[in-house]
Amino acid sequence: MLHVVGGSVYDPANGVNGEVRDIYAAGGKICDGKRAPGADGDGSAGERAEVIDARGMVVMAGGVDLHSHIAGPKVNVGRTLSPGDHRMDPVPRFGSMRGGVGHVVPSTFVIGRRYAEMGYTTVMEAAAPPMEARHVHEELDDIPMLDTGMLLLMGNNHFVLSLIDEGDRERLADYIVFLLGSTGGYGIKAVNPGGGVNWRRRGNLGGLDDAIDGYDITPRHIIDALIDVNERLRLPHPVHLHCNNLGQPTSAETTLQTMQLADGRPLHITHLQFNAYGPKKGAPFASGVQPLADYVNSHPNISVDVGQVVFGPAVTMTGDAPFQHSLLKLTKDRWTNKEIEMETQSGVVPLAYSKNTYVGATQWLVGMEIFLLMEDPWRIYLTTDSPNGGPFTAYPWVIRLLMDRAYREETAKTLNKRALEASCLLELEREYTLEEIAIITRAGPAARLGLRHKGHLGVGADADIAVYEPCSDYEAMFARPRYVIKSGRVVVRDGRAVQECFGRRFLPDLPDRDDVTYWLAPEFARLYSVSFSNYPIDRERFEPCEVVPCR
């Protein structure tokens, strides 16, 4: 039994905006305060309540990150490429807490620890390849402190594309249910749909209506079909899309067309910043945010996460293999490319963002513009596409930039001058409130993921609570919570993890569909290098899990 006393609670999902309230938790859940601490009924008769004095402090639900690269083959490649960097950030074991290494792509125990030490308790792995999903699960199992899930890559999958080409939506839905169920995936992820297929011959594509080698369809067809199937299946989370043309100077145009293609149906555009560039007079590479913000502001079916760039080292890792190869050409440094039979491709390139370069500064400014021009905080989420734009440990810094206009401007003025002049940032006076921060880092992502027990502090929610000491330096405030509670137990004190615990895996409650074995097995045998019987992961490997209801 836990009792958080006297804090200013920011629980936007339940309309609580800074009221001083007590929060009660028992059995790992938020419970009704009218029960006296230690009352039975929750089976803990006689148990003394732990009391947290939160007077003068800010209380929020545990943070929810709906897009971060934390586990799996790509992430492990990122670790492999950075031994010299790891050396500079060793993390000793501490009591029973396992040690490891930090820096931009930390080892598993450190990922969990550092997320918790910012007050986060739920993270969704952004991109898992089905054939290696087992690897993703094994790494997630070794990330402490967090409840997790994985979004499953489908946008260049041979069977997905073939079924779209054939026009068989029902069978496509059957296959997607099979894919999610056999790999423990949470939702549909698509990355540069169709582009990965063209990468086989080291090509790409430039727009929604471009040709895809070997299939008589276009990216437009893929995205439309995936959204359609998502609606049929009513999965908890919408299609989660890394748009075509990422990183290109004309990407905003492609992104706008992609949003239009959703046509009122739910769609989530990820790391929008990397897809929000457009030409301006005299500048071929500049911000293309305004039309995108206008569209999102007037179309409530669309949500975005920002993918804010953070100056300093980063490791890019995406399923956008052709784009990743172009980064190699820029950096002339390390590059790993992997092609996974019949399914997907990925690339990993370490790099660094500099505020002194026009491009680096512009990218930073674009991210900020997105945050400040999008009006509905419920449909915009704080991410750095970690570690692509920068490490997740930079979130407190981003929060400060959003809440403190003077700091933001002071920072902006240290950027490349040309980039700053081309940006409208200095005209944007908005400062995020604590309530809005609670929305974009907790309540909004949880709702968008369909996680009804996360991101809020209503009765029945998971008892994941973060308690922050207010400070005029919002970065310091959010970087060092006084307490973090996970499932009703205090796991962080004064910004330091004190107890290791392990969370659970989210799985969607998949509807019953026709069995795909009879038509898939022979094709699988022809095309894959593993036996069909070894492709699905035993369900018990996902335990402990929570099955999340569909919409």
List contacts with other proteins (CB under 8 A): 71, 73, 75-77, 79-83, 86-87, 90-93, 98-101, 106-109, 131-132, 134-135, 138-139, 142, 200-202, 325, 328, 334-342, 348-349, 526-534, 537-538
Residue number with CB closer to other proteins (290 or 331): 331
Least Cβ distance, residue 499 to other proteins (angstroms): 17
Half-sphere exposure of 113 (CA within 13 A, CB side): 21
CB 469 within 8 A of CB 477: yes
Report strand pairing: 505-508 vs 545-548: parallel
Residue number with CB closer to other proteins (99 or 460): 99
Q: Which residues of 204-239 are buried (b: 16+ CB within 10 A; e: fewer)?
A: bbebbebebeebebbbbbbbbbbbbbbeebebbbbb
Least Cβ distance, residue 87 to other proteins (angstroms): 7
Least Cβ distance, residue 524 to other proteins (angstroms): 10
Least Cβ distance, residue 538 to other proteins (angstroms): 7
Report strand pairing: 90-91 vs 50-53: unpaired
Total Cβ atoms within 10 A of residue 458: 14
Cα gap 437→440, rounded to integer Å = 5
Residue number with CB closer to other proteins (349 or 491): 349
Least Cβ distance, residue 159 to other proteins (angstroms): 13
Residue number with CB closer to other proteins (111 or 227): 111
Residue number with CB closer to other proteins (194 or 278): 194
Least Cβ distance, residue 165 to other proteins (angstroms): 16
Least Cβ distance, residue 314 to other proteins (angstroms): 15
Q: Which residues of 365-385 are buried (b: 16+ CB within 10 A; e: fewer)?
A: bbbbbbbbbbeebbbbbbbbb
Least Cβ distance, residue 534 to other proteins (angstroms): 5
Using N-to-C axis directions, what is the helix angle for 358-373 and 405-412, rounded to 10°?
A: 160
Beta-strand ranges (E) seen in 455-538 are 465-468, 483-486, 489-493, 496-497, 505-508
Give me the residue label for tokens 């820029």. 330
Residue number with CB closer to other proteins (200 or 234): 200
Residue type, 147: D
Bond from prior residue into 144 cis (ω within 30 degrees of 0): no
Residue number with CB closer to other proteins (338 or 418): 338
Half-sphere exposure of 470 (CA within 13 A, CB side): 14
Least Cβ distance, residue 150 to other proteins (angstroms): 14
Cβ neighbours for 518, distance < 8 A, ≥ 6 positions apart: none
Residue type, 367: G
Residue number with CB closer to other proteins (139 or 464): 139
Least Cβ distance, residue 356 to other proteins (angstroms): 26
Cβ neighbours for 240, distance < 8 A, ≥ 6 positions apart: 66, 67, 126, 151, 187, 188, 189, 190, 268, 270
Q: What are phi and psi of 26, to 5 degrees?
A: -150, 145
Residue number with CB closer to other proteins (70 or 466): 70
Least Cβ distance, residue 81 to other proteins (angstroms): 6
Residue type, 197: V
Cβ neighbours for 417, distance < 8 A, ≥ 6 positions apart: none
Q: Is 17 left (phi over 0), alpha (psi -120 to 50) or beta?
A: beta
Residue number with CB closer to other proteins (112 or 396): 112
Residue type, 71: A
Residue number with CB closer to other proteins (298 or 533): 533
Residue number with CB closer to other proteins (106 or 247): 106
Least Cβ distance, residue 73 to other proteins (angstroms): 6
